[in-house]
A and B are shown apart, each in its own frame.
Chain A
Amino acid sequence: MVAVYVIIGIVVVLAIILWVLYNGLVRLRNQVKNAWAQIDVQLKRRYDLIPNLVETAKGYMKHERETLEAVTNARNLAQQASSAGAGERAKAEGELSSALSRLLAVVENYPDLKANQNFLALQEELTSTENKISFSRQFYNDSVLRYNNQTQMVPSNIVAGMFGFKASEFFEVTVTTEREAPKVSFT
C-alpha cells in the first residue's frame, strides 16, 4: 500500500516538473517570436521614412546624387529581402544602415539643410528608428540566448527534445561596414 502511494507521489512530482519546464519553454519561445515581430515593425518604419528623407534632402544636396541613390537602392533591396531568412535579411539591413550613416555624415556640409525644420524632424525620427532597431535586435538576441540556453541545458533540454523545441537563430550584423565609422569625402 505504501509503495503505491510513493509511486503515485513520484509520478505527480514528475508531472509537475514537466509542466513547469514545458510552460517555461513556451513562454520563452513566444517571447522570441514577439521580439522578432518588434524588429519587423521598426524595419518597416524605416522603409517608410527613407523616401521622405531623400525627397527633402534632394533639394539641398545637389552634389550628393550618388549618396542619395545609394540610400534609395539599399532601401529597395532591404525591402525585397524582408521575406528572406534572418541571415540574408540582416545583411541587407546592415547595408542600408551604413548607407544611411554616410548620408547623415555629409549633411554636416549643408547648413541650409540642417536648419530645415522638416528635415530636423525627419532626422530625429530616423535616429530614433535606428536606435529602436538596435534595441529590438538587442532584446531579440537576449531572448534567443535565454531560450537557447533553456533548450540546451539539463533538465529542460529533455523536455525540449520531447516536444520539438528547436534553438533559434541570432540576428547578427554580418556587414563589417556598419561597425566602422562613416567616411566623409569632400570631392
Chain B
Amino acid sequence: MLTIGMGVLLILIGYFLGAAFDSAVAGLVIAILIWVILSLVAYFQGDSILLSMSRAKKIKRDDHPRLYNIVEEMKIASGLEKMPDIYIIDDPALNAFATGRDPNRASVAITSGLLQKLNRDELQGVIGHEISHIKNRDVLLMAMCGVLLGTIVLLAWYGSRFLIFGGAGSRRSSSSGGGGQGQIIILIVALVFMILAPIFAQLIYFAISRKREYLADASSALYTRYPEGLASALEKLGASTGQLKSANKATAPMYIINPFRKKGMKASDLTSTHPPISERIRILRAMAGVSFNEYDQAYSKVHGGKRVIPAASIAAETVPITTTKLEGEAGEPNEIQRARETSDVMWRLNNYNTIKCDCGAKLRVPPKFKESTIKCPHCGRTHQV
C-alpha cells in the first residue's frame, strides 16, 4: 500500500515537472524512464554493488563451520530452496545484513565484530532475521522503494530549480493570451509540491522499512522457536557504540540495526529505517509463544492496541515443537575463543598463511613473503613456509 503511495508521488512529481516544460506528458515520460533505468540497475547489480561497497569477503564451509551450519539451519527452518552465500565484513562494529534480488541468489553478510560477540543462540536469531528478509523478499522491495525515493528526490531537486530560475522567464512570453492567472496558481502548487514530495517520500520509505523489520523479527522468532536468542543479540547490538565504516544510506534498511544511529539517540520518531532496539527487545520478550499471531499480540501490548503483522501472514499458524537443544556449554566456545577463531578466518581470507609454532605462538605469513623458511620471533625455531 505504501509502495503504491510512493509510485503515485513519483508520477505526480513528473506531472508537475512536465507542467513547467509546457508538456505534462514529457515530464511523466522522463520520470518513468529514469525510474525504470534505476530499477533495472538496482535489480541486476544491487547485491554485487552492495557487497563490494562494504568490502565483504565470501567464506566457504571450512572457513567457519559454525556460521555456515547456523545459516544452513535457518535455511532449512525457513524452507528456503537454495543456500545463500555467506560473507564476513572485517569490521569491529556489530551489524549484519542480507541482500539478493530473489531467494535463489541471496547472500547474508555479518561483521567480524558481531561474529565474535554472539553465542550460538544469538547468532541463530540474527541469521534468522536476515534469512527472513530474503524469504519475505524485502531486499527486492526495499531496493525498489529506494530507487523510487531516489528518483523523487532527484526530480524534485531539478524541478524546483527549473521552476524558480528557468520556468518563469519562458512562461511570460508564452502566456500572451488569457489564463495567465491559472498558470501562476499551478506553478505555485507545483513548487510547494516539489518541496514536500521528497519529504513525504522519505517518511513513507522509513515506514515501510520499519514494518519489514518487525516482520523479520517475528519471522526469526518463528524459525528459531526461540525469541530470547534474537532479543539477547539485540541487547548486545544496542549496547555497542561502534559505527560501521562501510555502511551506505541506500542500503541501511537491510542491516539488522540502523548503521547510522547516533549514540543515545532514541529513534522512535518517524525518521529512522529501524524501530528502536529497546522496543524490539520488549516485543520479543513479551511474546507468549512463537507464532506471528503471538508477535502481533505482543506488539499491540507494547503499542496499546496497534497491529503490525500483515493479516495474510497471521493466517498461517504453526505447530508447537519442543526442540531438543543439545548445545550444552560443553561445545560452545567462549568469547575469547570466538575472537581467535574469527581473526584466524580473517587472516586466511586475506591470503595470509598461519603457522603454529611449538612454543604456542602463531606466525602470520603474508601472501607476498618470498623466503622459504621463517624464524619464530618468540622462541627462535625455524619453520618451512
- Which residues of A does B touch, CB under 8 Å? 31, 35, 38, 42, 97, 100-101, 104-105, 107-108, 114, 120-121, 123-128, 130-132, 134-139, 141-146, 170, 173, 178-179
Residues on the A chain within 8 Å of B70, using CB: 128
What B residues does A105 contact at CB under 8 A? 328, 330
Closest B residue to A31 using CB positions = B79
Docked CA distance A94–B149 (Å): 53
Q: Is the CB of A145 within 8 A of B317?
A: yes
A144 to B76 alpha-carbon distance, docked (Å): 15
CB pair A146–B316 under 8 Å, yes or no, is yes
Majority SS at the chain B contact face = loop
Q: Is the CB of A101 within 8 A of B326?
A: yes
Q: How far is the CB of B217 from chain A (nearest CB, A)?
A: 18
Residues in chain A near residue B322, CB distance under 8 A: 173, 178-179
Known pairs A104-B326, A123-B331, A127-B327; A132 contacts B72 (CB<8 A): yes
Q: How large is the interface on B (under 10, 10 to 19, 20 to 34, 35 or more residues)?
A: 20 to 34
Q: Mostly helix, strand, loop or mixed at chain A's interface?
A: helix
Select B323's contact among A104, A138, A170, beta carbons within 8 Å. Answer: A138
- Determine whether the beta carbon of B326 is less than 8 Å from that of A114: no
Q: Once the chains bind, are A138 and B321 in contact (CB under 8 Å)? A: yes
| B73 at interface, CB cutoff 8 A | yes
- Chain B, 32-78, CB within 8 A of any chain A CB: 65-66, 69-70, 72-74, 76-78
Q: A38-B76, A132-B76, A139-B79 are in contact. Are A107 and B323 (CB under 8 A)?
A: no
Residue of A nearest to B120 (CB): A127
Which of A120, A126, A132, A173 has the largest count of B CB atoms less than 10 A from its CB? A132
**Contact residues in B for A145 (Cβ distance below 8 Å):** 317-319
Find the B residue at minimum CB distance from A39: B76
Distance in angstroms between the alpha carbons of A128 and B69 in the assembled complex: 6
Residue numbers in B under 8 Å from A126 (CB-CB): 326
Closest Cβ neighbor of B69 among chain A residues: A128
Contacts of B348 in A (CB 8 A): none
Chain A minimum-CB-distance residue to B316? A146
B72 in contact with A141 (CB, 8 Å): no
- With a cutoff of 8 Å between Cβ atoms, the chain B residues found around residue A144 in the complex are 319
B307 at the interface (CB under 8 A from A): no
Cross-chain contact A141 with B79 (CB below 8 angstroms)? no
Chain A hits for B66, CB < 8 A: 124, 128
Q: Is B174 an interface residue (CB 8 A)?
A: no
Expressed in whole angstroms, the minimum distance between the Cβ of A100 and any Cβ of chain B is 7
